[in-house]
């Protein structure tokens, strides 16, 4: 009888909106885990553009349209990541790194998470070369100023972001 333990990973974030850079990390992380939880944080302090329900729905659209990993499930969470991860049976937290500047913050978070729950490891995946500069914050800034964001998002999500800023005027 095969008693191997499943490797469950979690890729947490605000995903406001989910970008091609996020999708790249999701696709790669799903290859090194048996299951991957795309954990979308309520992130009230960040004052997100989309509600938690909208962000979950947009992430699901992304996964379905591009067939990214049948082993990925989208879930929302609030509170401490390590508590949610523990409830989900997670052993790996996946974090993407775009630049050296991301590393300092992410390293501090990894150390703190390890202190809070030593059974969960953090792994860092560097952004692929074509996605290194993409961030939701920059995408929103470009969109708010009327610039094209089509290179950073799938059309369905681009449409929602553009609509958001049109309605804001």
Residue 59 to residues 14, 88, 122, 147, 160, Cα–Cα distance (Å):
11, 19, 22, 23, 12
136 is catalytic: yes
Q: Which of 46, 130, 137, 166 is catalytic?
A: 46
Q: How many CB atoms lie within 10 A of CB 116?
A: 14
22 is catalytic: yes
98 is catalytic: yes
Q: Which of 98, 114, 128, 160 is catalytic?
A: 98
SS3 label, residue 117: coil
Starting at the earlier edge strand, list the strands of the sheet with 121-126: 72-77, 35-41, 8-13, 92-97, 121-126
Q: Which of 30, 41, 135, 136 is catalytic?
A: 136
SS3 label, residue 139: helix
43 is catalytic: no
- Would you name the residues annotated as active-site residues? 22, 46, 98, 136
């Amino acid at each position: 009888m095969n008693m191997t333990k499943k490797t469950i990973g979690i890729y947490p974030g605000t995903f406001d909106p989910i970008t091609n850079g996020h999708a790249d990390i999701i696709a790669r992380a799903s290859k090194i885990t048996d299951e991957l939880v795309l954990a979308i944080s309520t992130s009230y302090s960040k004052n997100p553009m989309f509600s938690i329900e909208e962000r979950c729905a947009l992430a699901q659209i992304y996964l379905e349209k591009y067939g990214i990993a049948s082993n990925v499930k989208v879930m929302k969470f609030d509170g401490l990541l390590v508590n949610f991860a523990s409830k989900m049976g997670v052993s790996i937290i996946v974090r993407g790194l775009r630049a050296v500047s991301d590393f300092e913050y992410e390293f501090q978070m990894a150390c703190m998470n390890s202190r809070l729950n030593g059974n969960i490891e953090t792994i860092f995946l560097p952004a692929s070369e074509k996605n290194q500069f993409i961030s939701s914050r920059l995408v929103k800034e470009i969109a708010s100023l009327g610039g094209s964001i089509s290179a950073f998002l799938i059309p369905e999500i681009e449409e929602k972001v553009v609509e958001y800023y049109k309605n804001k005027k």
